[in-house]
Structure 1
Amino acid sequence: MRKTRRRNPYYDGPVSDHFDGTHFFNPEGIEPLGFRDLLRWQFGGGRQRWPKSVPSPYSAAKPDARVDDADLRVTMVGHATMLVQVAGLNILTDPVWSERVSPFAFAGPKRVVQPGIAFDDLPPIDLVLISHNHYDHLDIATLKRLQAKHRPRVVTPLGNDTIIRRAVPDLQTITMDWGERISHAGISIDAEPAHHWSARGTADRRMALWASFVLSTPAGKIYHVGDTGFHHGIHYKAAQQKHGGFRLAILPFGAYEPRWFMKGQHQNPREAVIGMTLANAAYVAGHHFATFQLTDEAVDAPARALQDAMREHDIPLERFRPLRAGELFDVPAV
Structure 2
Amino acid sequence: MAICTSVSATTTAPVSPQYHDGKFRNPVPMHKASLGDMAKLWWIFLFDKPSGTTPQQAVPVQPLTRAALLAAPDNTLYRLGHSTMLIKLAGAFYLTDPVFSERASPVQWFGPARFHAPPISIDELPPIKAVILSHDHYDHLDHAAVKALAAKTTVFLAPLGVGDRLIDWGIDAAKVRQFDWWQSAEIDGVRFVATPAQHFSGRGPHDTNSTLWASWVIQHANLRLFFSGDTGYFKGFKEIGAKYGPFDVALLETGAYDKRWPDIHMQPEETLQAFVDLNAGWLLPMHNGTFDLGLHRWQEPFDRIEKLADERGIKLATPEMGEALDLTAPHAGGRWWHGLK
TM-score w.r.t. length of structure 2: 0.86
Q: Please state how far the C-alpha of 1:282 moved relative to its aligned partner.
A: 0.9
2:188 maps to which residue? 185
Distance 1:34 1:202 in 2: 15
Is 1:138 matched up with 2:134?
Answer: no
Distance 1:50 1:279 in 2: 30
Q: 1:108 to 1:200 in 2, by over 3 A?
A: same
Distance 1:51 1:12 in 2: 42
Secondary structure at the counterpart of residue 135 of structure 2: coil
Q: 1:52 to 1:249 in 2, by over 3 A?
A: closer
Q: 1:32 to 1:79 in 2, by over 3 A?
A: farther
2:102 maps to which residue? 99
Q: Please state how far the C-alpha of 1:144 moved relative to its aligned partner.
A: 0.8
2:273 maps to which residue? 274
Secondary structure at the counterpart of residue 251 of structure 2: strand
Distance 2:38 2:112 in 1: 16
- Residues 137-188 of structure 1, C-alpha deviation per residue, up to 9 Å, x if partnerless? 011100111113x133100100011211111232611100001111111121
Give structure 2 stretches of 5+ with no counterpart: 1-10, 331-341
2:323 maps to which residue? 327
Q: Please state how far the C-alpha of 1:15 moved relative to its aligned partner.
A: 5.2
Q: Please state how far the C-alpha of 1:228 moved relative to its aligned partner.
A: 0.6
Q: 1:196 to 1:90 in 2, by over 3 A?
A: same
Distance 1:153 1:235 in 2: 27
Is 1:222 matched up with 2:218?
Answer: no
Distance 2:15 2:325 in 1: 41
| Paired AA for residue 299 in structure 2 | D
Number of equivalences: 314
- Residues 120-150 of structure 1, C-alpha deviation per residue, up to 9 Å, x if partnerless? 33222111001000000011100111113x1
Q: 1:73 to 1:176 in 2, by over 3 A?
A: same
- Residues 231-257 of structure 1, C-alpha deviation per residue, up to 9 Å, x if partnerless? 2xx121011111131112111101112
Q: 1:184 to 1:294 in 2, by over 3 A?
A: same
- Residues 198-229 of structure 1, C-alpha deviation per residue, up to 9 Å, x if partnerless? 01100110110000111121141111111110
Q: How does 1:59-78 map to 2 (within 5 A)?
A: 59-62=62-65, 63-65=68-70, 67-68=72-73, 71-78=74-81
Distance 2:306 2:14 in 1: 44
1:175 paired residue among 164, 175, 178 = 178
| Paired AA for residue 76 in structure 1 | R
Tell me if the contact between 1:76 and 1:82 (Cα under 8 Å) persists in the aligned partners. yes
1:57 maps to which residue? 60
| Paired AA for residue 41 in structure 1 | L
Q: 1:224 to 1:162 in 2, by over 3 A?
A: same
Tell me if the contact between 1:254 and 1:289 (Cα under 8 Å) persists in the aligned partners. yes
Tell me if the contact between 1:99 and 1:110 (Cα under 8 Å) persists in the aligned partners. yes
Give structure 1 stretches of 5+ with no counterpart: 1-9
Tell me if the contact between 1:32 and 1:197 (Cα under 8 Å) persists in the aligned partners. no
1:163 maps to which residue? 165
TM-score w.r.t. length of structure 1: 0.88
Tell me if the contact between 2:79 and 2:321 (Cα under 8 Å) persists in the aligned partners. yes
Q: Percent identity?
A: 30
Q: Please state how far the C-alpha of 1:52 moved relative to its aligned partner.
A: 6.4
Tell me if the contact between 1:269 and 1:302 (Cα under 8 Å) persists in the aligned partners. yes
Q: How does 1:82-93 map to 2 (within 5 A)?
A: 82-93=85-96
2:37 maps to which residue? 37
Distance 2:34 2:247 in 1: 36
Tell me if the contact between 1:223 and 1:250 (Cα under 8 Å) persists in the aligned partners. yes
1:207 paired residue among 207, 210, 213 = 210
Q: 1:294 to 1:104 in 2, by over 3 A?
A: same
Deviates most, 129-138 or 110-119? 110-119
- Residues 59-117 of structure 1, C-alpha deviation per residue, up to 9 Å, x if partnerless? 2123421655xx42110110010101122221000001100111112111111111122
RMSD: 2.0
Distance 1:15 1:225 in 2: 20
Distance 2:229 2:23 in 1: 20
Q: 1:300 to 1:52 in 2, by over 3 A?
A: closer
Deviates most, 285-294 or 52-61? 52-61
Is 1:311 matched up with 2:310?
Answer: yes
Distance 2:327 2:20 in 1: 40
Distance 1:50 1:247 in 2: 32
Secondary structure at the counterpart of residue 43 of structure 1: helix
Q: How does 1:215-254 map to 2 (within 5 A)?
A: 215-231=218-234, 234-254=235-255
